[in-house]
C-alpha cells in the first residue's frame, strides 16, 4: 500500500502545503484533514448524546486546542457555552510538570458540566493540574476530550473520556499543535523532523 504522503492532503488546502513550512515535517502525514474531519464528527455525536439536557460548558485549553475546538463545537448540536483557559507547561519538546495559568475562565462553572478540550494528552501533568483546579469550583461534572492521546508516556492516571486518536510517541505538530509557536496553521498533523529542534 502506498504510504499516506502529502498528496493525500493536496486539494483540500489548494496544494499550498507542499514545501515551505511543511518541509520541516516528515513526509508521511499522521492524520490528514479528511481523517480529522471524520473522527471529529464522530466525537461530536458521542458528546451530543452524553450531554443532551445538561448545561454544557466546553473549555478549550489554549493555544493548542483552538482549531480542534472550533471544529468540534460545530459538530455538537446543543446549546453549549464556550470558554478558554491558557496554561503553560512546556519548554521545548519536554513537559516540565510546572503548570502556570496564563488566562483563567471568564464564566462561573457552578452547576455546569465541564468538558475540557485538549489538543494532546502526553504525560497528563497539565490535565491533572487542570482537573484538580476546576474541581474546587464545584461544577456538576468534569470530563476530558482530547484529540490525541499519547498514552504510552502517561505519568498521571487521568481519564480521557472522549479520545480522538492514539498518538505515537513522537513530537507532532499541525492542526493547532506547535513547536516554539510555529506549525499551528498546518491543516493536518505530522511528525516534526528531529533535526528541526535542538534539545
Residues making contact with ligand IMP (CB under 6 A): 64, 89-90, 95, 118-127, 171-173, 177
- Nearest to ligand IMP of 46, 178 (CB atom): 178
Q: Rounded to the nearest whole angstrom, what is the least distance from the CB of residue 99 to ligand IMP in the complex?
A: 7
- Nearest to ligand IMP of 55, 97 (CB atom): 97
- Nearest to ligand IMP of 32, 118 (CB atom): 118
Q: Rounded to the nearest whole angstrom, what is the least distance from the CB of residue 123 to ligand IMP in the complex?
A: 3
Among 59, 43, 52, residue whose Cα is nearest residue 131: 59
Among 53, 39, 74, 25, residue whose Cα is nearest residue 146: 39
- Nearest to ligand IMP of 33, 122 (CB atom): 122
Beta bridge partners of 60: 84, 117
Q: Rounded to the nearest whole angstrom, what is the least distance from the CB of residue 125 to ligand IMP in the complex?
A: 4
Our answer to whether residue 7 is catalytic in this structure is no
Q: Rounded to the nearest whole angstrom, what is the least distance from the CB of residue 165 to ligand IMP in the complex?
A: 12
DSSP secondary structure string for all residues of 155-198 = -S----SEEEEE--SS-EEBTTB-BTTBSTT-SSEEEEPGGG--
Angle, CA 90 vertex, CA 84 and CA 93 arms, to 5°:
130
Q: What CA–CA distances, in Å, run from 44 to 89, 145, 187?
A: 27, 10, 19
Annotated catalytic residue, options 23, 104, 110, 122: 122
Could you give the residue numbers annotated as active site? Answer: 122
Amino acid at each position: 500500500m502506498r504510504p499516506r504522503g502529502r498528496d493525500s492532503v493536496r486539494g483540500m488546502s489548494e496544494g499550498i502545503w507542499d514545501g515551505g513550512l511543511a518541509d520541516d515535517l516528515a513526509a508521511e502525514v499522521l492524520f490528514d484533514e479528511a481523517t480529522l474531519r471524520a473522527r471529529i464528527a464522530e466525537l461530536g455525536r458521542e458528546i451530543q448524546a452524553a450531554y443532551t439536557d445538561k448545561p454544557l460548558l466546553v473549555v478549550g485549553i489554549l493555544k493548542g486546542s483552538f482549531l480542534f475546538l472550533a471544529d468540534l463545537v460545530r459538530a455538537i448540536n446543543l446549546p453549549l457555552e464556550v470558554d478558554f483557559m491558557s496554561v503553560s507547561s512546556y519548554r521545548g519538546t519536554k513537559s516540565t510538570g510546572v503548570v502556570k495559568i496564563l488566562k483563567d475562565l471568564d464564566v462561573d462553572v457552578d452547576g455546569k458540566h465541564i468538558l475540557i478540550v485538549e489538543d494532546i494528552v502526553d504525560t497528563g501533568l497539565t490535565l491533572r493540574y487542570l482537573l484538580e483546579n476546576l474541581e474546587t469550583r464545584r461544577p456538576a461534572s468534569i470530563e476530558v476530550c482530547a484529540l490525541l492521546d499519547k498514552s504510552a508516556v502517561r505519568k498521571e492516571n487521568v481519564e480521557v473520556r472522549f479520545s480522538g486518536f492514539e498518538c505515537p510517541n513522537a513530537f507532532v505538530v499541525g492542526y493547532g499543535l506547535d513547536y516554539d509557536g510555529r506549525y499551528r496553521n498546518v491543516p493536518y498533523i505530522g511528525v516534526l523532523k528531529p533535526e528541526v529542534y535542538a534539545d
